Amino acid sequence: MLHLQTPLAQAVRQLFDRALPLLAGQRSGTVKIYVFGGCALHMLTNARGSADVDAEIQASEHLLREEIKAVYAAPEDYEQDGQDLSVVFDQQFNNSLCPLHEDYDARAILLPGQESSPLQVFIAHPIDLAISKLGRFTERDQDDINLLIRSGKLNLKEFDRLAREAIDYYPCDRSTVTSCLRLILDEAREWGQ
């Protein structure tokens, strides 16, 4: 279940909807956007928010992708609990800088009502979001993975298997990322997950 009625989730949708006029008359799925990071975590768990949207844009044409990124340059403003906030598309996000399973797109969750839209926005599956957080592995990343585990969004065996597969072809020090995975799994087993 996705949490799509929160002010942040609605602001993210409005941000992405800005590209719809560019895509008028295009076929379904001409542009696919995969959301990671804090915004994905928020939509999956209704937990913490984020001031930026980490997302990968896949477009059938390079020029189209650049036009869409330009449309997303300005922040999307919203209000939450009487506070004026904004969310901005992170133009520098690059999912090749974090571990990611090659089949993440097959597991990603399409936002409802976009099945036939030329713009399709997907939220990273909890497992793929957790895998992506193993690379940087800051305290916040660890907390995010633990939240996904404690909220029942991750099957530990599947997470372990898919994370190890992703680590096998991640261009980094594999032993460090494997140690991070082992730490998370050991902690989860201690809680009885």
H/E segment holding residue 153: none
- The whole-angstrom separation of Cα 99 and Cα 95 is 8
Contact 55, 34 (CB under 8 A): yes
Q: Look up residue 124 and give its DSSP letter.
A: P
pLDDT of residue 39: 97
* pTM exceeds 0.75, yes or no: yes
pLDDT of residue 65: 85
pLDDT of residue 157: 96
pLDDT of residue 193: 56
pLDDT of residue 7: 96
pLDDT of residue 6: 96
What's the length of the chain? 193
pLDDT of residue 133: 95
Token pair recorded at residue 45: 């768990």
**Region of residue 29 (phi > 0: left; psi between -120 and 50: alpha; otherwise: beta):** left
pLDDT of residue 128: 98
pLDDT of residue 1: 84
Q: Which residues of the chain have pLDDT under 50?
A: none
